[in-house]
Amino acid sequence: SPEGGSKLQQAFTRFLLESGALRFGDFTLKSGRRSPYFINAGAFNDGQKIALLGEFYAQRILQGMEQGQLPGQVDTVFGPAYKGIPLAVSTSIALSCTHAHPLGYTFDRKEPKDHGDGGSLVGTQLEDGMRVLLVDDVMTAGTAVRECVPKILAAAKVQIVGLVLSVDRMEVANDSGQSAVESVMDEFGFPVLSIANIAQVFAAASTMADAQGKLMMDEELAGRAQAYLDQYGA
């Protein structure tokens, strides 16, 4: 790829910055790590942004299919509640309506339901033999995905064909020197792809200026990001 990354990575980085999803500051993560940057998928909070986000996921999934990382046929896109729900829905719409790749969407409930259909999953119901593609927002230590996989496998004997993230933060898992993405791949045996990893995001952001001509990621921010990655990077 050229300097600053692929077209998809560059466009996605611009989208992260312009929508305010990528912020620099001082953030405490779920894992307890204190990070100088944070990616907040909650910033994709209107119809245009969530449609565009679904389109980015679709592009990455189609690329994964072309490159043989993902099978060409998938039955449903699964997004873990709550933040995974709009990801699964928007990705399914983009693949089905824009890319002639019809498939379902599925998500879980956080609370058990004891009336109505009684099911704990919403959308396309999982059946034995189905191919399920997971989508999630960001991976840091890999805790979120470890919670959701057993729930899916308890519903039916499905094949989880992969996990697609917005951003892989490229950090170590909690209890090892191994990267979170690699330890999830080893543990569950499916590929983990991201629209962009954090190194690709930073490479692209360092080449981009805002409307006032100010660099989106100047040397001071780059230095703080590097210091964090020296500590927690895989």
| Residue 30 near ligand OMP by CB under 6 A | yes
| Distance, CA of 195 to CA of 13 (rounded, Å) | 10
Say whether 115 is catalytic.
yes
Least distance to ligand OMP, CB of residue 38, Å: 4
Cβ nearer to ligand OMP, comparing 85 with 141: 141
Instruction: Tell me the per-residue interface mask from 118 to 147 with ligand OMP, x by CB under 6 A, - otherwise.
Output: ------------------xxxxxxxxx---
| Distance, CA of 90 to CA of 4 (rounded, Å) | 27
Among 14, 18, 24, 31, binds ligand OMP (CB under 6 A): 31
| Distance, CA of 78 to CA of 126 (rounded, Å) | 10
State the catalytic residue, choosing from 49, 115, 151, 214: 115
Residue in the structure block whose two tokens are 């466009």: 11
| Residue 38 near ligand OMP by CB under 6 A | yes
Helix (H, G, I), strand (E, B), or coil: what is residue 164?
A: strand
Q: Which candidate, 216, 203, 148, 147, places its Cα nearest to that of 170? A: 203
Nearest residue (beta carbon) to ligand OMP: 140
Among positions 159-198, residues that touch ligand OMP (CB under 6 A) are 180
Cβ nearer to ligand OMP, comparing 179 with 206: 179
State the catalytic residue, choosing from 7, 30, 99, 113: 113
Cβ neighbours, 10 Å, residue 165 = 24
Which range in 37-45, 69-77, 92-100, 119-127 contacts ligand OMP by CB under 6 A? 37-45
Cβ nearer to ligand OMP, comparing 60 with 169: 169
| Distance, CA of 156 to CA of 75 (rounded, Å) | 13
Distances in whole angstroms, Cα of residue 148 to Cα of each of 107, 186, 222:
10, 16, 33
| Distance, CA of 82 to CA of 170 (rounded, Å) | 23
| Residue 86 near ligand OMP by CB under 6 A | no
By the criterion CB under 6 A, which residues form the site for ligand OMP?
Answer: 29-31, 38-40, 136-144, 180
